[in-house]
A and B are shown apart, each in its own frame.
Chain A
Amino acid sequence: MASATTVEPTRRDFLFIATGAVAAVGAAAVVWPLINQMSPDASTLALASTEVDIGAIPEGQIITIKWRGKPVFISHRTEKEIKEAEDVNVATLPDPQTDAARVQKPQWLIVIGVCTHLGCIPLGHQGEYGGWFCPCHGSVYDTSGRIRKGPAPRNLAVPQYSFLTDTKVKIG
């Protein structure tokens, strides 16, 4: 469709490009809601915190509570466990972190109970460091929830929490 004038083709091309560009913008705008709908919805985002009464947990016991669909370990540590956690040469750890940086009160360790390797739930009071042992691929955590051995790259994560009273903790 060769045109007689030289002006004609450029004007024509501009029109075609403009139409195509606007249509492309529209298509992109439609795609966004289709992708964004899979993100957490308002009700999921709102379930941010949970309160736990820890007064009844005897020393040496670990309880598991559910927070944001995941297990959270609350460990009432014994003197021995605290000492073991504190007496580690931090430099030798795969993910160096002092015990003090991981607890607010030494007798209470609160960590998210999800192995940092591939998301399994480690078993409490097991493994050679007396902390946790993950049965899936053999990661071993100490009494501070730090990774000591095995394929997991990081320590068990510490969630955001605060003590409302001595016996009540709010997680999240």
Chain B
Amino acid sequence: MAFTKKIGIAAAALLGAVAFSNLTLRAEEGGGHETPNPTRQTWSFSGPFGTFDRAQLQRGFKVYKEVCSNCHELHIPIRTLAQPGGPGFTEDQVKTLAATYTVHDGPNLQGEMFDRPGRPADVFPAPFPNPEAAAASLGAAPPDMSLLAKSIKFERGFPAFVFDVLPIPGGMYQEVGPDLIYAILNGYTKEDDPNWNLYFPGHKIAMGKPLAAGQVDYTDGTPTTLEQYSKDVAAFLYWAAEPSLEQRKRIGARVMIFLLVLAGLLYFTKKKIWADVAH
């Protein structure tokens, strides 16, 4: 048994060494240029039963349309605005909206390219013909926003990342992207430098402060503050990146209930079958 103990001690020492080296590194990280992690926001679409707030998505779309779309592409079909589980525009609203866009199409029977009014099946037209043109005009090519809310992240670190996956209150953290979008839009904290952002890694961001209070008109009485704009547009972008969210969670609930029932039945069946076997 003495030997057992020794191994136990050795194992503990080994783990201690690993933990210590981790701590040292964290301490090193602490100094210098620090980028704080965004705080977790409350979203209507978080949690196992979360759904999108239609009015919020419509406001977010307005912010996108009037501000973001001047530089950013949103490569999703216009028709999806009327899809179930989305902003809840009607088919007719989407048709009218689509017609306000000009789409380059062709060739026609004469072999010429031409411009025509958009249709719901078209994707939102890009503000620049290609990323190079965008970079030449703006200094850097703004990313396509169709998946932006799923393609950005920040490190949660141990042990937070373990809780993030669990079905517990405060767990199931999938909204890293919208939280970061919200944080960045509110992170232009240096008045004299529109390209300094508290939450952007390295603090230098190519996108100058894009939004300010009162910039977009809301018709439903929602306050036209920067916080509200950021939240609405972040929610809209999360929908754009994950349009099947509502269907996914709805079906997930059914699947989970079904599996629990089946597990219960199987448990008793198995118990019956093994009842007369000592094992």
| A residues apposed to B, CB below 8 Å | 1, 12, 15-16, 18-19, 22-23, 25-26, 29, 42-43, 46-49, 51, 53, 56, 63, 65
- Which residues of B have CB within 8 Å of A63? 109
Determine if B120 is an interface residue (Cβ-Cβ < 8 Å).
yes
In the complex, the answer to whether B265 meets A15 with C-beta atoms within 8 Å is: yes
Contact with A along B119-142 (1 / 0, CB 8 A): 111000000000000000000000
Tell me if B261 counts as interface (CB < 8 A to partner A): yes
Whole-angstrom distance from the CB of B118 to the nearest CB of chain A?
13
Q: Take A26-B262, A46-B79 as given contacts and tell me if A12 and B120 are in contact as well, using a CB distance cutoff of 8 Å.
A: no
6 closest cross-chain pairs (CB), A and B: A46-B121, A19-B265, A19-B269, A46-B79, A22-B262, A47-B121
Q: Given A15-B268, A19-B265, A22-B262, A53 and B79 touching (CB < 8 A)?
A: no
Can you list 23 pairs linking A and B with CB atoms under 8 Å apart?
A1-B276, A15-B265, A15-B269, A16-B269, A18-B265, A19-B262, A19-B269, A22-B258, A22-B261, A23-B262, A23-B266, A25-B258, A26-B258, A42-B79, A42-B83, A43-B77, A46-B120, A49-B119, A53-B108, A53-B109, A56-B109, A56-B110, A65-B109
Which of A15, A22, A43, A46 meets B272, CB within 8 Å?
A: A15
B108 CB contacts on chain A under 8 angstroms? 53
Count B-side interface residues using an 8 Å CB cutoff.
21
Chain B residues, Cβ within 8 Å of A48: 121
- List chain A residues, Cβ under 8 A from B268: 15, 19
In the complex, what distance in Å separates the CA atom of A46 from the CA atom of B94?
13
Q: Which residues of A contact B266 (CB under 8 A)?
A: 19, 23
CB B112 to nearest CB in A, in angstroms, measures: 11
Nearest residue (CB) in A for B262 is A22
Nearest CB of B to A27, in Å: 11
Min CB distance B262 to A, Å, is 5
Chain B: minimal CB distance from A6 (Å): 16
Residue of B nearest to A19 (CB): B265
Residues from chain B with Cβ under 8 Å of A56 in the complex? 109-110
Cα of A25 to Cα of B265 in the assembled complex, Å? 14
Closest to B110 in A: A56
- The interface residues of chain B lying within 8 Å CB-to-CB of A16 are 269
A29 neighbours in B (Cβ, 8 Å):
258
Chain B residues positioned under 8 Å from A42 (CB to CB): 79-80, 83
Complex contacts, B259 vs chain A, CB 8 Å:
26
With a cutoff of 8 Å between Cβ atoms, the chain B residues found around residue A22 in the complex are 258, 261-262, 265
Complex alpha-carbon distance, A48 and B77, angstroms:
14
A18 CA to B120 CA in the complex, in Å? Answer: 48
Of chain A, the residue at the smallest CB distance from B122 is A46
A89 CB to nearest chain B CB (Å) = 37
Contacts of A46 in B (CB 8 A): 77, 79, 120-121
